[in-house]
């Protein structure tokens, strides 16, 4: 039987395509991840990843390992739940920034369902500032959202992510013309950061499209109406990171945070555990 610890590291690298991101997700050092992969490759009799300075890709042997590794990890988790004896049950009012809804959220909810089938989720997808206000008012139990880097406030910092300019592959900008922006309505963390970045650089901008949904933003940007900023790891598949040759200023970073009213036990703690495991780990909750 393959060591579940090695399998967890392998799955994290396979999902993130990065040894650094896998280490951050599992809360260990990158050398530990590298050591785990080497040990697993030794047991598997060959390379699981093809690595160079730009990419980490699964080999054919790595593709075959995916199913085995996931089965081993799932089996270990089921055994642990069985022998712990207690079944977590209840309802969680979970707020998620829309950026995560089409990317990380399905996997978080899948793992929750497999581990705690008696936990029900009331899901709210909204702008991060709206969700933060709702949890402060007691209308939500847990929020996965975004915040300006280093901004004060309660919650747990999961990770800091670079922002990038995105648009269609055919995006062209005319020097001297206002930069066309596709924007969420206020309050929107990424909208504020995009506008401030352009204004600091002395560039004019115009609101080419205003949309309240990620679906609308993707459609407008893919159609060439304008550009926007987005967390690099969450860039939609139908859009691309725009090249530096367009002359756009660096939009900086954004923080991924987890807010909770009480994540010490029960269904809220159960869901929070999967969010932290999937998105990253950092400091503990603050009051």
Do 173 and 192 lie in a common domain?
yes
Tell me: do 114 and 246 sit in the same domain: yes
β-pairing, 119-126 with 90-97? Answer: parallel
What does the alpha-carbon distance between residue 151 and residue 180 come to, in Å, rounded to a whole number? 27
Each residue's pLDDT tens digit, 91-132: 999 999 988 887 788 889 988 888 888 889 999 998 888 899
Shared domain for 80 and 97, answered yes or no, is no
From 65, 84, 103, give the residue that closes a domain: 84
Higher confidence at residue 84 or residue 267? Answer: 267
Q: Summarize pLDDT for 128-162 with one digit per residue, the tens.
A: 888 999 999 999 999 999 998 877 778 888 888 89
Q: Are residues 70 and 139 in the same domain?
A: no
- Do 128 and 237 fall within a single domain? yes
Distances from the Cα of 43 to the Cαs of 71, 92, 172, 283, in angstroms?
A: 17, 41, 50, 35
Domain limit, last residue, from 50, 84, 118: 84
244 shares a domain with 125:
yes
Question: Do residues 150 and 283 share a domain?
Answer: yes
- Considering the domain architecture, whether residues 144 and 275 belong to the same structural domain is answered as yes
In this structure, are residues 239 and 125 in contact, taking their beta carbons and an 8 Å threshold?
A: no
Q: 48 phi and psi, to 5 degrees?
A: -100, -25
- C-alpha–C-alpha distance, residues 169 and 165, integer Å: 12
pLDDT surpasses 50 at 257: yes
Q: Say yes or no: 242 and 135 in one domain.
A: yes
Please report, for the domain that includes residue 45, its CATH number: 1.10.10.10
Residue after which a domain boundary falls, among 32, 66, 84: 84
58-73: average pLDDT: 90
H helix intervals, 27-141: 30-44, 60-84, 98-101, 105-115, 128-136
Domain count of the fold of the chain: 2
What CATH code is carried by the domain that includes residue 124?
3.40.190.290
151 and 26 within one domain: no
Residues 50 and 130 occupy one common structural domain: no
Asked whether the whole model's pTM tops 0.75, one would answer no
Determine the average pLDDT of the residues in 80-94: 75
Q: Which domain holds residue 50?
A: 4-84
Band of the pLDDT at 26, cuts 50, 70, 90? confident
- Asked if residue 47 and residue 105 are part of one domain, the reply reads no
In percent, how much of the chain has pLDDT > 90? 42
pLDDT of 255 > 70? The answer is yes
Decide: 81 and 70 in contact? Cβ < 8 Å: no
């Amino acid at each position: 039987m393959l060591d579940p610890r090695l399998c967890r590291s392998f799955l994290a690298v396979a999902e993130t395509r990065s040894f650094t991101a896998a280490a951050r997700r599992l809360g260990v050092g990158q050398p530990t991840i590298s050591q785990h992969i080497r040990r697993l490759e030794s047991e598997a009799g060959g390379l699981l990843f093809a690595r160079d300075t730009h990419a980490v890709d699964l080999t054919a042997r790595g593709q075959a390992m995916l199913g085995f590794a996931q089965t081993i990890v799932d089996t270990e988790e089921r055994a642990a739940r069985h022998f712990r004896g207690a079944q977590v049950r209840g309802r969680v009012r979970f707020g998620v920034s829309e950026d995560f809804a089409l990317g990380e959220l399905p996997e978080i909810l899948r793992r929750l369902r497999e581990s705690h089938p008696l936990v029900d989720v009331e899901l709210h997808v909204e702008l991060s500032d709206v969700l933060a206000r709702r949890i402060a008012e007691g209308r939500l139990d847990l929020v996965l959202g975004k915040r300006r880097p280093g901004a004060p406030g309660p919650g747990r910092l999961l990770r800091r992510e670079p922002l990038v300019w995105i648009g269609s592959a055919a995006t062209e900008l005319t020097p001297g013309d206002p930069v066309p922006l596709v924007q969420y309505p206020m309050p929107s963390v990424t909208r504020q950061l995009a506008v401030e970045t352009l204004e600091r650089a002395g560039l004019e901008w115009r609101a080419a499209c205003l949309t309240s949904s990620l679906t609308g933003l993707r459609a407008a940007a893919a159609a060439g109406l304008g550009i926007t900023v987005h967390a690099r790891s969450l860039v939609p598949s139908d859009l691309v990171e725009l090249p530096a040759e367009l002359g756009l200023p660096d939009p900086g970073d954004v923080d991924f945070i987890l807010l909770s009213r009480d994540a010490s036990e029960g269904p809220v703690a159960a869901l929070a555990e999967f969010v932290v495991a999937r998105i990253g780990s950092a400091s503990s909750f603050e009051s």
